[in-house]
Amino acid sequence: MRRLAPVLLALAALASRASHAQSAQSAVWVSGVVTDSSGIPIAGAEVEALGSAVRVRTGASGAFRIDGIVAGPASIVARRLGFRPETLAVLVVTNGEPIAFTLRTAPAMLETVAVTVGRRFTGRLAGYYERLAARTQGYFITRDDIDRGNPRQLTDVLRRAPGVEIVRGSRVRLRGRNCAPLVWIDGVSMPAGEVELNTFAPSSLEGIEIYMTASGAPGRYQGTGDESKCGTVLLWSRGGGTEERRAPVSAATSNGEQLRAAAGVFTAAEVDSGAHPVESTSWSIVYPPDLLAARIGGVVVAEFVVDTAGRVEPESFGIVTSPHPVFSHAVFDAVRAAVFVPARRSDRPVRQLLQMRFRFAPPGGER
């Protein structure tokens, strides 16, 4: 038995070392986000763990996750056409190690187009948008507010507002009053008394205004007599006069190497003269009225191919980053209609992949 003890101790030591080696080689996952130097997320960035075959691309939010990383020191690289690549040396110990990349713009990016507006609102919802922009009185629920959480009933939206109480299932009361508020839909007053607000689908409304007092509502919506003594609710429907919400513009996920190999598309570094908008270009970009009224702004970075005739190939259009899908559509419509001077290589026109920035700046700055 005494002679077996050293053997058992040696086997235990070997097992311990094997267990430690196995633990060191165990696979973990890392996650993070890729942004530009201003903090805006970058979609379509390729993130790779060097020394492995693992590669992923960031989504619209700039987020990524890499599975199968061997625990220990690792080099993670992020790259995106139009940006300088960045490599980070990290020590991966446990699952979910956070990694943040900040990519800086490469010089090939075209000059930023500023999207501003100096005119007043027009159309069916002009008054609503003007009051939303001013916000001097009342409480406003915008289209984005309405859509948040995909509510099934209008009362699910209204109960989020301060001072609003939902009683006996679906009855709306403002500031604890015992009577129903006066309700208007698209400028037309509903019959006095209780209105079943859940008959209006949240997805049918562009915006909602709530005024707690009779005198708080705009003059034309105060009703007659004491109709609005219990407050006022203004409902505005979607449709004509509102910004169309289409399917999201896809995130740009192509890269120069694949495009060039597949279809003869060149990057700015590979041409003698780069593509650029013709001098007479006047960008006609409609600032979405609801985002303008809410003072929502930001930068859209678009990526697209300009062909040999100087026109944008619509199927190549993608979004690198955008603060709102409606901004992306406004840029897509403008870019698709624009005319460019095509790139040239060896004294002949060629197709080029471009990136452009569009900055939406509401008057008075963003909220």
Domains contained in the chain, CATH given: 28-103 (2.60.40.4130), 127-237 (2.170.130.10), 247-360 (3.30.2420.10)
Return the pLDDT at 25.
Answer: 56
Beta carbons within 8 Å of 144's beta carbon, 6+ residues apart: 290, 294
- The per-residue pLDDT for 131 is 93
Q: Residue 88's pLDDT is what?
A: 94
C-alpha to C-alpha distance for 83 and 37, rounded to whole angstroms: 10
Which residues neighbour 180 within 8 Å (Cβ) at sequence distance 6 or greater?
Answer: 171, 172, 173, 193, 194, 195, 230
State which residues of the chain have pLDDT below 50: 1-4, 6-24, 254, 256-257
Q: Coil, strand, or helix at residue 15?
A: helix
**How much is the pTM?**
0.72
Q: Give the model's pLDDT for residue 19.
A: 44
pLDDT score, position 7: 41
Number of Cβ within 10 Å of residue 10's Cβ equals 10
Predicted confidence at residue 252, as pLDDT, reads 67
- Tokens matching residue 200: 């209006």
